[in-house]
Amino acid sequence: MLDIDIEGSASRLSPEAPVPVVDAERVAQRPGGAGLAALLAARTETGVVLITGIAEDDAGRQLRALLSTAGVRVLGLPVSGNTVTKTRIRARGQSMLRLDRGDGTAVSRPLSREVSEALAGAGAICVADYGAGITALPEIREVLTRLAAEIPVVWDPHPRGAAPVPGCAMVTPNQDEAQRFCTEQRPGEMGEVLRRRWDADAVCITRGSRGAELHRRDGGAHRIGVGQLAAAGSSPSDVCGAGDRFAVALATALGGGADPEAAATTAVADAARFVATGGAAAVATAVPARGPDLVVAQRQRQDPMEVDAVALAARLRREGRTVVATGGCFDLLHTGHIRLLRQARDLGDALIVLVNSDASVRALKGAGRPVMGDADRARVLAALACVDAVALFDGPTPEHPLASLRPDIWVKGGDYTADDLPEAAVVRRFGGEVVILPTVAGYSSSRLIAAASAPSTDERQ
């Protein structure tokens, strides 16, 4: 499904009825349902494939574009009807209204060779059931039942969906879902009853801020607490997507060889961190106000080159929003940069990019660099929809501007650890978090510059 988030402020009532008037300030789109699960997986993993029913309409095409940009390969199954679209209108983080449209449902057809091969070659399979009929398809159930003996299958069930296939490595209902699946049992008995009913290796019931309860085939229940991570944010009310983050983290850990308890502990921590940093709303991509089925009034976006980055960060903090910053040379912008910037923007409400000055780049990279001057590099970055402000800095590392910005999240790409970064101490001093995102293999400004500078075959002859 396609989720549309309209964020704004409400300071007056409509003269036509006693209802708030929302002045839209930001419109964003993101994949919802299983698409959100795939998007979250692609933030940390490569080779993510989403097998789903997807309609050939405007919303379906937008979904494909959003997922493809995030690095997700989409293999479509046939559906009837239109793409389900959910529009949420919020003012200052408070939900005001949700509009649902679309009636897409799965259609039974033999699986394509591409789909069969993708499933058979997976390191782990996460079934994110949203009750639209995919999990009831006989051909899907047959192949998942066969593969569950060889590949970890994590099944996030839905009350309107089909029962998990036998042999799943983990089934992950939340507390309310477990009670609906198992109305005749007392709360402490539901996990084991459901595990036996579904013939799963384990059932993990998620309980929001109270963590999770794990029931394994070899007996016994284990409670997993959220601990200090629940306090990492400012008690956000938007927990949309936490179940998807949990299921994806669980599948990734099990696919990497973790035992169920260790995998569940990791998944609880990841889900808590996800909620603390804004939930699903922080994973949206800003779009023009005119969407496939929606026209709203939106304030003109200010040129990021003209934005005072420090003032922007201060205003957003006062409003309780999440400020994300990242930095680098960005000498010849490439696909790896774009993906890093988009993923960084998805973590919060605004992205500020700190750019090394020309003198700083020369000190780091040597003579002949940068290829593009700092003003041009900043101008190119400012033209990206995911960038809200750009600022230049001198010196090899950005401790000084970070002390002024005080971002909630500082993002770097590569093989670093947070402790490797000299600026990490400054970020943490003001309560910020350091996030390391994986880079896209094969892309490097230095490599592109070297390739462009190499003599052609004709020149060598």
CB 31 within 8 A of CB 98: no
Which of 5, 201, 244, 408 does the annotation list as catalytic?
244
Q: How far apart are the first and last CA of the chain?
A: 56
CB 386 within 8 A of CB 341: yes
Length of the chain: 461
H-helix segments, 212-279 = 242-255, 260-276
Helix axes of 58-69 and 34-42: crossing angle, nearest 10 degrees: 20
Q: And the tokens for 200?
A: 């799963």
Burial 437-460 (b: 16+ CB within 10 A, else e): bbbbeeeebeeebeeeeeeeeeee
Nearest to 170 by CA among 97, 243, 110: 243
Nearest to 129 by CA among 299, 1, 306, 272: 1
- Tell me the three state secondary structure of residue 371: coil
Beta strands 105-106 and 79-80 are antiparallel
How far is the C-alpha of 192 from the C-alpha of 190, rounded, in Å? 6
244 is catalytic: yes
Identify the bridge partners of residue 12 per DSSP, sorted by sequence position: 21
How far is the C-alpha of 203 from the C-alpha of 208, rounded, in Å? 16
Identify the bridge partners of residue 4 per DSSP, sorted by sequence position: 29, 87
How far is the C-alpha of 140 from the C-alpha of 386, rounded, in Å? 37
Write the CA distances from 242 to 119, 131, 233, integer angstroms: 25, 18, 14
How far is the C-alpha of 230 from the C-alpha of 272, rounded, in Å? 6
- Active-site annotation, residues: 244
